[in-house]
Amino acid sequence: MDLSCELCREPGGELLWQSERCRIIRVADPAYPGFCRVIWHDHVREMSDLSPHDRQQLMEIVLIVESVVRSLFRPDKINLAAFGNMVPHLHWHIIPRWRDDKHFPEPIWGKVARPDARPAVDAVSSPVLADRLKTALADAGYGAR
| pLDDT reading at 144 higher than 70 | no
37-89 confidence digits (pLDDT tens): 999 999 999 999 999 999 999 999 999 999 999 999 999 999 999 988 888 89
pLDDT at 60: 98
Other C-beta atoms lying within 10 Å of the C-beta of residue 138? 12
The full set of domain ranges for the chain reads 6-139
pLDDT at 55: 97
- If pLDDT is split at 50, 70 and 90, which confidence band does 127 have? very high
Q: What is the CATH number that goes with domain 6-139?
A: 3.30.428.10
Instruction: State the average pLDDT over residues 102-128.
Output: 88
pLDDT at 126: 94
List the 91-97 sheet strands across, edge first: 14-18, 22-26, 36-40, 91-97, 77-81
pTM, full prediction: 0.93
pLDDT at 121: 81
Angstrom distance (rounded) from CA 36 to CA 99: 19
pLDDT at 93: 97
87-101 confidence digits (pLDDT tens): 889 999 999 999 999
| pLDDT reading at 143 higher than 80 | no
